[in-house]
């Protein structure tokens, strides 16, 4: 299995920034392998959506239209950590953010990469609250 441990969530004023981290470990995790990795968020009244998705090596990378230019997804392979830098936060960014990891190949198809069921392992989820 692969364990994903998130950190960095919290509350922030609109216009502020947060940086989420997701550390990967476990018997089935290897730095030699390539993965599709994503940050999803669940907002009340909406389906879980992929806000930022990245393949090992950085290509391809996807962002939801609502976060383009404000969020940056990155991976430090040496530290086995996935990051989401969130700048210029808006109240509508409020939600539960979860990191997820799945087979590299799903990142090659945009529709697959943004489908939660395609991912194999998930973090515990962390609350991000943005106030006006």
Please list the pLDDT of the chain residue by residue as tens digits (132 residues). 899 999 999 999 999 999 999 999 998 888 889 999 999 999 988 889 999 999 999 999 999 999 999 999 999 878 899 999 999 999 999 999 999 999 999 999 999 999 999 999 999 999 999 999
**Location of structure tokens 């210029």:** 88
Q: For residue range 23-45, list pLDDT tens digits in order.
A: 999 988 888 899 999 999 999 88
Return the pLDDT at 15. 98
Residue that the structure tokens 């590299």 belong to: 104
Residue 111 φ/ψ, nearest 5 degrees: -65, -40
């Amino acid at each position: 299995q692969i364990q994903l441990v998130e950190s960095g969530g919290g509350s922030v004023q609109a216009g502020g920034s947060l940086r989420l981290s997701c550390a990967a470990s476990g018997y089935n995790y290897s730095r030699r392998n390539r993965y599709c990795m994503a940050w999803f968020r669940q907002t009340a009244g909406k389906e879980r959506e992929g806000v930022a998705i990245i393949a090992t090596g950085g290509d391809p990378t996807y962002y939801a239209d609502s976060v383009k230019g404000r969020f940056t997804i990155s991976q430090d392979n040496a530290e086995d950590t996935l990051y989401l830098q969130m700048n210029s936060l808006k109240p509508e960014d409020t939600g539960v953010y979860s990191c997820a990891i799945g087979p590299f190949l799903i990142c090659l198809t945009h529709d697959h990469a943004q489908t939660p069921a395609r991912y194999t392992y998930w973090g515990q989820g962390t609350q991000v609250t943005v106030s006006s």
